[in-house]
Copies of this chain bind each other. A is one copy, B any other.
Amino acid sequence: MSGKIYEKEHQIKYYECDTTQKMTLSMLLNIMLHVSGEQSHLLGVGDEVLAEKGLAWIILQYEVKVERMPAFYETITITTQATSYNKLFCYRIFKVYDTKGNLCVTVNSTFALMNVKERKMARVPDEIVAPYEAEFTKKLVRSPKPIKVDEENMISKEYRVRYLDIDSNRHVNNSKYIEWAIDTLNLEFLTTHEIKRMTIKFEKEVHYGQLIHSEMSATKNTDNDMTTAHRIVAEGVTNCEASIEWKTIE
Q: Which residues of A contact B (CB under 8 A)?
A: 13-15, 17-21, 24, 26-27, 30-31, 33-34, 37, 41, 72-73, 162-164, 166-168, 170, 173, 175, 179, 182-183, 185, 187, 190, 208-209
Distance in angstroms between the alpha carbons of A18 and B168 in the assembled complex: 7
Q: Which residues of B contact A33 (CB under 8 A)?
A: 14-15
CA distance A152 to B210 in the complex (A): 28
A33, chain B: closest CB distance, angstroms: 7
Q: Which of B14, B37, B166, B209 contacts A168 (CB 8 A)?
A: B14
Partner of A187, one of B73, B175, B209: B209
A26 to B183, CA, bound (A): 21
Measured CB to CB, the nearest residue on chain B to A18 is: B164
Are A19 and B166 also in contact (CB < 8 A) when A31-B13, A34-B13, A187-B208 are?
Answer: yes
Residues of B within 8 A of A185 (CB): 163
Distance (whole angstroms) from the CB of A50 to the closest CB of chain B: 13
